[in-house]
Structure formats: structure tokens, C-alpha cells
Amino acid sequence: MKLLYFAWVRTRVGIGEETVDPPASVVDVASLLDWLRTRSPGHAEALKDPKLVRVAVNQEFAKPDRRLAAGDEVAIFPPVTGG
Amino acid sequence: MKLLYFAWVRTRVGIGEETVDPPASVVDVASLLDWLRTRSPGHAEALKDPKLVRVAVNQEFAKPDRRLAAGDEVAIFPPVTGG
Amino acid sequence: MIRVQREDFDVAAELAALSGGRTDIGGVVSFVGLVRDMAGGAAIGAMTLEHYPGMTEKQLAAIEAEALGRWPLAATLIIHRYGRLEPGERIVMVATASAHRDAAFDSCRFLIDWLKTKAPFWKLEDTDAGAHWVAADARDDQAAARWIEEKPSEHR
Amino acid sequence: MIRVQREDFDVAAELAALSGGRTDIGGVVSFVGLVRDMAGGAAIGAMTLEHYPGMTEKQLAAIEAEALGRWPLAATLIIHRYGRLEPGERIVMVATASAHRDAAFDSCRFLIDWLKTKAPFWKLEDTDAGAHWVAADARDDQAAARWIEEKPSEHR
């Protein structure tokens, strides 16, 4: 599973992207975030409040209950501020 | 008193402007229109329904009860259609 | 700024002049009105815009002043042409610049809505059914009335 | 049309391309967003726009498609820049062309309102108090929500 981080999520995690092989407990967006928080202090800091981040799965906005598959591209980022 | 006509008011009256010396009965916009209708068949046709025309006195929109003075510039025209 | 002219205008140059060199402008909204080749089902060959010189400028200046009083604007522009225009030609341009986009959108729409009902211009259309003076559109009156009944949306 | 690019764009050329040669367009509304030198009281030296390549284009295309479905539009345009931008520089341009001005105004505002909350861009501001990621503005959410709750105004 490919993970992408943007804006302050990226700077807090410390990397822009990584490829992970999550455990079986990761079935959806919410459980992915739970698991990611255990990977490093940076991940824990970036994702400590899931309400502060937005998630896209395969480049579409996704809710916490969105199911995940091994080949998905999952991006985690703050609310957008373009325009 | 200088009178100006625009758009179909102009084409029906047959002239774009004229200088008139109205009788004492003409005290406001409404009475000016009443008097003008007597000046020619073209005036009568153009002004037969006062609700269909708009009037400006000295380049400001004016209501029927707007008082008039001898030196006023009075323009009569259809509702505007620019933009 | 207001301008009433027979000649065409350069939208780019006008927009550049509006915001050029300034760094306090967050958004510029512009409306450009064009001559259409159809109106009410009749093909239009050309259009002639008549206006009331003197009153036109006064009315446009008053409309612009009203917008500047209602919204926090950095700049405003109204250009209106007169004379003979063919389909596809520009008739009018209004633009507003503000720190905030809601103010720019609202004020730009206000300018064109009020202009449509308050500026002394009249359109004579040459159609395949003959030349005729365009009738005022009640929807334009409704659009203008919006700005009397409603307060402008909160400034952003 | 949508474009995501680092380079600046030419508003005039873009508007000309939008309506050029067409005679069925009555009005073109455009919004151009610029970098301001002040934000929340802090002076901004520059701004860096990060985005999510791939998703950005998908989202902009979806927003444009939504506008085309809601209003009778002759043409639409969204251009958004990324990278480093200084105060006064253009960030974004959205424009819509329609036979009717209300459709052009509503759809142009819809495009920028939805873009602000749905397109994956993030602003990093360099201020005299240091660099910081701009926080999302609740007013942008409200502006976007308007287009969910309200039906577009009647087509003109």
C-alpha cells in the first residue's frame, strides 16, 4: 500500500511517501490511521487527532469507514487551502 | 425647456430634441407629458401610455410629480436596455 | 473608473491596470458582456446601442460610488460601448478588485445588475425580422431589486 | 478546460480563447485570485503552493463537470498554479461563459467556492513571524455548502 503525505502532515511525519504492508487489523481508513500512529513519533504527532486530517483513497476523498485493499494509494493531508 | 427623446420615443416623435415653451398648466413631469401629447400625432403616439416611458430631469430619473422649471433639460425614453 | 466609448477595449490591459503593482488585492472579478447572434429566436445581424451622453456618465459614476460605499473595494471599473456592434463583439465590462472574493463577486454583480436598469442605454437589434428596439426584461428589474432588498453578504 | 501549472498565465489570452469566435455567448465572468502581502496581520514575503499531482486534476475536472451539469455553459476554465509565488502574483483563475449572465456569475462563483474546499492544494506562507501552513477557513466551508443547500438561481 502506497502512502502519501502532504503539507504539515508531511512535515510532521518527516517523509512525503512510503510503501507499507499493514497488518490484518487494518481494514479501513480509521484502522489504518490507528496503526500508522504506532510507526513513529512523527506519525503519532501528525495523526494524533484524526479529525484534523483528510484522507484520499486512490485520489478520491474517503471517509473513516472506507475499506482498503493492498494496492490502494492512500493520501493523508490537512484540509485544503488552495484557490 | 429643452426636451430630448431616445430610442423608440425618438423614432415615434420623429425628432431627437426640441426646445419648447410650455404653457402655465405644465408644472411637473405628468403635466408636461399631458401637454406634449397635444403637440403632434407623433408625440401622441409616443406618449400615449405614460407608464411605458421613463423621464429624466437634468439627467436624473424623475417621477411624475417632479416639479419643472423653465431651464430644465427633460429627457423622455423607454426603460433602459444596456449592459 | 468609468468609460463610455465607441471603440472596443482590451480586457487584459484593463484588468492589469486594475490590480497592477498592488499586493493588497486577493481577488478580481470581471464580467464581460457580448453581443449574441440570437435573441428570442430571431437571428441578429447587428445591434446599435444608443445612449444619453452626460446622463450615462453620471449614472455610471453613481453606480460605481454606490458599490464603493457598500463593499471594501480596492478598485472598480465600468466600460460601456455605444454605436454599432456585431455578434461576438464586447458591449460592456465591469470589474471589481478586493482583498476578499465575496466582496469582489457581490460588487461586480451589483454593478452589472444596476447598470442594466439605471444606465441610459438602448439596444436596437437588426434581426432577420427587421430592426426593433429591445424591450426591457423584467428579470433585470428583479436582479436589480435584489440589491435593494438584501444587504450585501458579510464582508470577507 | 483545466490546467495545473507552475508558470503564470495570460488572463487576456485565456478569456479570448474562452469566447473567441463564438456568437452564442452573452457574458463571461472570471475570477482571478492573487497573493496578498498581508494575512491575519502578518506580512507575507512569499507563499509556496503544494498540491497532490493526479488528484488535483481529477478534482478540478469533477468540479468543472459539476458546473457544466448545473448551468447552461458555453465554456469553462480553471487554471491553478503551484510552487513559489510572491505577493501580487496570480494563483488561480476560473472563468465561465454562458448565454446568460446569471448562469455565468453563479457557476464562476461555484467553481472557486468548490475548488477552495475540494482541490488538494496547501499554502505555506513565509511571514515575518516564520513559515506556517495556512489553516483552512470555516468561511470557505460555508461558501461551498451554499451550493449544496441551495439550488442554483433560475437560468437566465
Q: Give the model confidence (pLDDT) of D9-19 as tens digits.
A: 999 899 989 98
Task: Work out the end-to-end distance of chain D between its first and last CA atoms, rounded to an integer number of angstroms.
Answer: 23
Q: How do residues B12-71 score in pLDDT, each as one tens digit?
A: 999 999 999 999 999 999 999 999 999 999 999 999 999 999 999 999 999 999 999 999
Into which CATH architecture does domain C2-155 fall? Answer: Alpha-Beta Complex (3.90)
Report domain extents, chain D. 2-155
Residue from C154, C156, C1, C21 nearest C75 by CA = C1
Q: How many CA atoms lie within 13 A of A69 on its CB side?
A: 3
pLDDT for C151: 56
- Give Cβ neighbours of residue D150 (< 8 Å, ≥ 6 apart): none
Q: How do residues A6-25 score in pLDDT, each as one tens digit?
A: 999 999 999 999 999 999 99
Cell readout for C98 is 478586493
Residue A74 has pLDDT above 50, yes or no: yes
Residue from D5, D95, D131, D138 nearest C95 by CA = D95
Alpha helices in chain A (DSSP H): 7-13, 29-36, 41-46
Cross-chain Cβ contact A82/D80 below 8 Å: yes
The stretch D67-86 carries a mean pLDDT of 97
Q: How do residues C31-53 score in pLDDT, each as one tens digit?
A: 999 999 887 777 889 999 999 99
pLDDT for D149: 62
Nearest chain D residue to C11 by CA: give it.
Answer: D12
Cross-chain Cβ contact D118/A60 below 8 Å: no
Q: Which helix (H) or strand (E) holds C95?
A: strand C90-98
Residue D79 has φ and ψ, to the nearest 5°, of -125, 130
3-state helix, strand, coil in chain C (%, to 5): 35, 35, 30
For the question of whether the overall pTM of this predicted structure is more than 0.80, the answer is yes
Q: Do chains A and B touch (3 or more CB pairs under 8 A)?
A: no
pLDDT for D95: 98
Out of A60-74, C29-43, D63-77, least confident range: C29-43
pLDDT for C140: 93
- Give Cβ neighbours of residue A37 (< 8 Å, ≥ 6 apart): A43, A44, A47, A48
Q: How far apart are CA D42 and CA D2, in angstroms?
A: 32
Q: Is-contact C46 C126, C-beta < 8 A?
A: yes
Residue D58 has pLDDT above 90, yes or no: yes
pLDDT for A39: 97
Residue C100 has pLDDT above 60, yes or no: yes
Residues β-bridged to residue C109: none
* Average pLDDT in chain D: 92
Residues β-bridged to residue A3: A18, A74
Residue C38 has φ and ψ, to the nearest 5°, of -135, 145
Nearest chain A residue to D62 by CA: give it.
Answer: A60
Cell readout for D121 is 492544494
**Residue C86 touches chain B, beta carbons under 8 Å:** no
Q: How far apart are CA D137 and CA D131, in angstroms?
A: 18
Count, residues in chain B: 83
Q: Which chain B residues are closer than 8 Å to C50 by Cβ?
A: 6-7
Show the domains of chain A with their CATH numbers: 2-77 (3.10.20.30)
Q: Which chain C residues are closer than 8 Å to D79 by Cβ?
A: none
Q: Which chain D residues are closer than 8 Å to A83 by Cβ?
A: 33, 80, 91-92, 112, 115-116, 119, 121, 140
Q: How far apart are CA B47 and CA B57, in angstroms?
A: 17
ipTM, two decimals, is 0.91
Q: Is-contact C81 C92, C-beta < 8 A?
A: yes
Cross-chain Cβ contact D32/C31 below 8 Å: no
pLDDT for A54: 97
Nearest chain C residue to B75 by CA: give it.
Answer: C52
Q: Which chain D residues are closer than 8 Å to A81 by Cβ?
A: 116, 121-123, 133-137
Q: Is D119 helix (H, G, I), strand (E, B) or coil?
A: coil
Q: Is B53 helix (H, G, I), strand (E, B) or coil?
A: coil
Cross-chain Cβ contact B81/C122 below 8 Å: yes
Identify the band that residue D39 occupies on the pLDDT scale cut at 50, 70 and 90.
confident
**Residue C115 touches chain B, beta carbons under 8 Å:** yes
Residue from A52, D156, A24 nearest C112 by CA = D156
The stretch D138-149 carries a mean pLDDT of 89
Chains that touch C (3 or more CB pairs under 8 A): B, D
Of D115, D116, D122, the CB nearest to A77: D122
- Give Cβ neighbours of residue C59 (< 8 Å, ≥ 6 apart): C118, C119, C120
Q: How far apart are CA C55 and CA C35, in angstroms?
A: 23
**Residue C36 touches chain B, beta carbons under 8 Å:** no
B2-5 vs B73-77, strand pairing mode: parallel
Instruction: Choose the mutation target among D30, D47, D117 for the interface with C, i.e. most C CBs under 10 Å.
Output: D30
Cross-chain Cβ contact A82/D55 below 8 Å: no
Identify the band that residue C155 occupies on the pLDDT scale cut at 50, 70 and 90.
very low
Residue C20 has pLDDT above 90, yes or no: no
DSSP secondary structure letter of residue C23: S
Q: How do residues C1-13 score in pLDDT, each as one tens digit?
A: 999 999 999 998 9
Q: Which helix (H) or strand (E) holds B72?
A: none
